[in-house]
């Protein structure tokens, strides 16, 4: 079975279309940021709007910090920053804020996408969680 999927992914056009379908139709919010210091958003799926109230077109070029506010745990954000600086992965929970100002617990995982040893983009998979 593994050989079949590997063979399928050798076709770049099929690979890209599979990834588009997965990202666009995921129940989880998917956010992709560039790998610069500012980590500007370059993609958000429809589930991101469901989760946060922000239309993807509203957040492109901004940073995920637009979701943070007074109750966002600074130690969690510091752990995230350390993971990003080390090109590592991150998992955490924090209070974030929807577009209308409503706080919510966000569970999220951030993963580097590398080409060679260089991180090119960050992919965040997010969902609404429960109290910590």
Query: What pLDDT score was predicted for residue 2?
Result: 59
Q: What angle do CA 18, 23, 25 make, to 5 degrees?
A: 95
pLDDT of residue 64 exceeding 90: yes
Q: Does pLDDT of 1 surpass 60?
A: no
Residue-wise pLDDT tens digits, 9-18: 788 888 889 8
Architecture in CATH of 28-128:
2-Layer Sandwich (3.30)
53 secondary structure, DSSP code: S
Sorted by where each begins, the domain ranges of the chain are 28-128
Pairing of strands 103-115, 29-34: unpaired
């Amino acid at each position: 079975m593994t050989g079949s999927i590997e063979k399928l992914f050798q076709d770049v056009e099929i690979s890209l279309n599979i990834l588009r379908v997965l990202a666009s139709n995921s129940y989880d919010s998917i956010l992709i940021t560039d790998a610069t210091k500012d980590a500007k958003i370059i993609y958000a799926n429809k589930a991101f709007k469901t989760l946060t109230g922000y239309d993807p077109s509203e957040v492109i070029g901004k940073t995920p910090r637009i979701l943070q506010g007074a109750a966002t745990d600074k130690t969690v954000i510091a752990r995230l920053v350390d993971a990003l600086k080390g090109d590592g992965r991150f998992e955490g929970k924090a209070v974030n804020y929807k577009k209308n100002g409503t706080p919510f617990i966000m569970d999220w995982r951030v993963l580097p996408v590398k080409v060679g040893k260089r991180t090119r983009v960050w992919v965040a998979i997010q969902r609404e969680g429960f109290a910590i």
